[in-house]
Amino acid sequence: MESKEHTHKLNALFSIIKYLLKCKMANNIVKCDDVKIGNINYTKPEKNGQSYFSSISYGDSLNPFYIQTPKLICKTNISDMKNKKIPYLDVEVPPGKMNIYDFLLSLDDNNIKTTVQKSADWFGKEIPLQAIDDMYRRTTKPFKKNTSPQIRLRLPMIKNEIKCGVYNQNRVFVGTDEVKEGSEVVLILHIRGLKVLKTSYYCDCYVTQIKLFQEKESKFNIIKDYSILDDEDDEEENMDDIFSEEVYKSFEDDKKEEDEKKKLEEAEKKKLEEEVKKKKLEEEAAEKKRLEEEAAEKKRLEEEAAEKKRISEMIEAKKKELLELEGLIQ
């Protein structure tokens, strides 16, 4: 009896703790319209493997920074992301919901501004705005007039499995495969911090929860929260940095691709410059040859004219001598 009563008390205590944690998490989530950019905090970057990381928090209590988006249109089948090294979710911002796009623009601008202001403290020297702006990889991309902007967001992956809570509009947990292109979704994003690589840096954020608007109710009610009764000696898995290495490798691959493209462009440019230089040299050689030939022809003509003049003068001299002889004879 005492054992059962003790178990009931523990279960009740766990339920209370779970409820309090949920309340705390809910208090940490801010709708993008309500975010005050000035309340975003940044820590000094610390070395983390081959990169540096500056944690981002929100408010005076330094809570983790979670934001909630408005209703967006999904452009990705999550089921297609399972074999991706870095899975992602593309969403379209529908008309009237530009507040999320504007927030991410403001966040990018604030990340750049803060990095410039703190560059002396963070990196030991002041770095100009232009250099920081060139290094920063923005979360948002420009879009054409009369089109809706799209945003690409990371999905967390642990042991080759996408770990993202998905609930429908009835608060029933559903599988990630239910999230398909064309679905309407509301997202909770975790803005983790700034990840600084060798030649670039970016805002590390990912989708932590999805509210999926389904036309029909799911016939399965899958328990999302971990409910297995573990033995006491079971170890918990550390999931602090869920995909930092994958993200780093992705950007390294992008950098290699950009470097290869740059090398090809430089080789093509060099080839064109050499062809232009060769053509110029050939034209200069041809012009030089033409001028030399003209000079030689001019010299030949001058020599011929001089020779003709000499012969003409000699003939005149002979004629004069003959006339003088004829005068003597007579």
Domain coordinates in residue numbering, the chain: 22-226
Residue 52: both structure tokens together: 């540096």
pLDDT of residue 15: 52
**CATH topology assigned to domain 22-226:** OB fold (Dihydrolipoamide Acetyltransferase, E2P) (2.40.50)
pTM of the model: 0.58
Q: Can you point out the beta strands (E) in 160-268?
A: 161-162, 165-168, 173-174, 184-196, 201-213
> What is the spatial distance between Cα 165 and Cα 189, in angstroms, rounded to a whole number?
12
Residue 63 Cα to chain centre, angstroms: 28
Mean pLDDT of 224-240: 60
Mean pLDDT of 169-185: 91
Mean pLDDT of 96-117: 94
Percent of residues, the chain, with pLDDT higher than 90: 40
